[in-house]
Amino acid sequence: MKKNTLCVHAGGYQDPNTSGLSTPIFTSSAYNYLDNPKQPYPRYFNTPNQEAVAAKLAALEGAEAAMVFSSGMAAISTTLLSLLKSGDHIVLQNELYGGTFNLVAKEFSRQNIDYTLTATHADAVIEAINKNTRVIYLESPTNPLLTIVDIRRITGVAIKKGITTVIDNTFASPINQNPLNLGVDIVLHSGTKYLAGHSDLCCGVVASNQSYITQLHQTAVNFGGSMDSNSCSLLERSLKTLSLRVERQCSNALSLAKYLETLSGVSKVFYPGLESSPYHSIAKSQMHGFGGMLAFELAADISPEIFLKKLKLISPALSLGGIESTICSPAATSHLKMSQDQREAIGITDAILRLSVGIEDIEDLQQDIAQALN
């Protein structure tokens, strides 16, 4: 089956009592273990609602198995701390989601896990590998500048050296990119973004082969970052329209990126779908779509703060991937904890804004940007 069909039909739960078409919400945290030898328990990640939505997610990523977590960071921290032990080394890109950067900077040093942050391109990542490297951690497209890394080139080297590759696939979503097909071992998502898609749910996902999922499961049970049945049900419902939403978000983002390029109030546009993007051809070779995220730099004579205040439709908001368009200043929000020098080293100036394009009519989005610039 293909993506639209998988969104609707994969996973789920067939209720033998009512023959209802959608998965019921099982609120129980206690199950009779004599009658149900599986012994479901929410923190074991094996309740009917957890399994129903995890199966849909596994199908969408082309994975053997998946697990849902109570946040993206629960999925990320559980995965990394399950793979790494004291003395091990991990390679990450310095253009990293802010929360992951903090996890590494604060927690890894305390665990005596060694790390190297590299520039966001395959050569730099490969060069940083040393004899203790156990994990390579990727993001592509990156936050907030939508840099694309050559995933196949990195996994080609990692496979030869027996290094586990992990990717945060949040920005692409499983509709636009399936990293397991590019040789990656483990795919992570902040489900809070595109998967949930309505800015009303916090969750995370891990998808991989059965042997990695079995290993991660043991750590996950100890860390306890599981998701409750009501949230699983909301996520499962949201996933049924994932492909429709993301398709519209991609086409709106491309139109908006082209429009922004024509405006004198905008000095630079970052979007891998633009033919002018240095990452266009590599994006085309490993993605099915270019995504709903873009970034742009305001001209020097325009105040980012005043521009954001003048927007009427597009909301300044921290999260992304929702059906409504949102915008933020990475320097003032997601990357605030980095020093100005650290930010500028990776190209994040104060004039750069990150836009998460929603499913509204494109004319209304263009109009909102035009009136705010004026």
Ligand X SMILES: *Cc1c(COP(=O)(O)O)cnc(C)c1O
| Residue number with CB closer to ligand X (97 or 296) | 97
Question: How far, CA to CA in Å, does 348 sit from each of 125, 142, 279, 296?
Answer: 20, 12, 17, 11
Q: Which position among 193, 245, 343, 354 bears the catalytic label?
A: 193
Among 79, 118, 170, 229, binds ligand X (CB under 6 A): 170
Q: What character string, x for contact with ligand X (CB under 6 A) and - otherwise, covers 127-166?
A: ----------------x-----------------------
Looking at the DSSP bridge assignments, the partners of residue 151 are none
- From the CB of 143, what's the least distance to ligand X, in Å? 5
Kindly identify the residues of this chain, within the stretch 184-203, that bind ligand X according to CB under 6 A: 190, 192-193, 202
Strand partners, 139: 168
The CB-of-171 to ligand X minimum distance in angstroms stands at 6
Of 193 and 217, nearer to ligand X (C-beta) is 193
Instruction: Label residues 51-74 b or e (16+ Cβ within 10 Å = b).
Output: bbbbbbbbbbbebebbbbbbbbbb
Q: Is 11 within 8 Å of 54 (Cβ atoms)?
A: yes
Q: CA-CA distances (angstroms) from residue 108 to 53, 124, 263?
A: 31, 21, 44
Minimum CB separation from ligand X for residue 187, in Å? 12
Query: With respect to ligand X, which residue has the nearer C-beta, 71 or 315?
Result: 71
Q: How far is the CB of 176 from ligand X (least distance, A)?
A: 14
Q: x-or-dash pattern for ligand X, window 57-76, by CB under 6 A?
A: --------------xxx---
Mind giving me the DSSP string for 43-61?
A: GGT-SHHHHHHHHHHHHHH
Q: Contact between 97 and ligand X (CB under 6 A)?
A: yes
Cβ-based nearer residue to ligand X, 195 or 372 = 195
The DSSP 8-state label assigned to residue 323 in this structure reads S
168 part of the active site: yes
* Contact by Cβ (8 Å): 132, 86: no
| Cα 177 to Cα 171: distance, rounded to the nearest angstrom | 9
Q: Does residue 231 contact residue 71 with C-beta atoms inside 8 Å?
A: no
Which SS3 state, helix, strand or coil, does residue 134 take? strand
**Pick from 61, 150, 168, 236: which binds ligand X (CB under 6 A)?**
168
Cα-to-chain-centroid distance, residue 345: 23
Q: Which of 150, 168, 185, 368 is catalytic?
A: 168
Can residue 354 be called a binding residue for ligand X (CB under 6 A)? no
Q: Where are the beta strands (DSSP E) in 30-169?
A: 65-69, 89-93, 114-118, 133-139, 164-168
Is 368 annotated as catalytic?
A: no
Selecting among 3, 97, 185, 212, the annotated active-site residue is 97
The CB-of-111 to ligand X minimum distance in angstroms stands at: 20
- Quote the least distance from Cβ 140 to ligand X, whole Å: 10
φ, ψ for residue 333, nearest 5 deg:
-130, -90
What Rg do the C-alpha atoms of the chain give, in angstroms? 21
Identify which of residues 71 and 255 has a Cβ nearer to ligand X in the complex: 71
Which one is catalytic: 13, 15, 41, 43? 43
What number of chain residues touch ligand X (CB under 6 A)?
14
What is the rounded CA–CA span in Å between residue 169 and residue 66? 14
Of 41, 44, 62, 99, the residue at the interface with ligand X (CB under 6 A) is 99
Closest distance between ligand X and the C-beta of residue 33, in Å?
A: 32
Instruction: Kindly list the catalytic residues.
Output: 43, 97, 168, 193
Which residues would be at the binding site for ligand X (CB under 6 A)?
71-73, 97, 99, 143, 168, 170-171, 190, 192-193, 202, 204
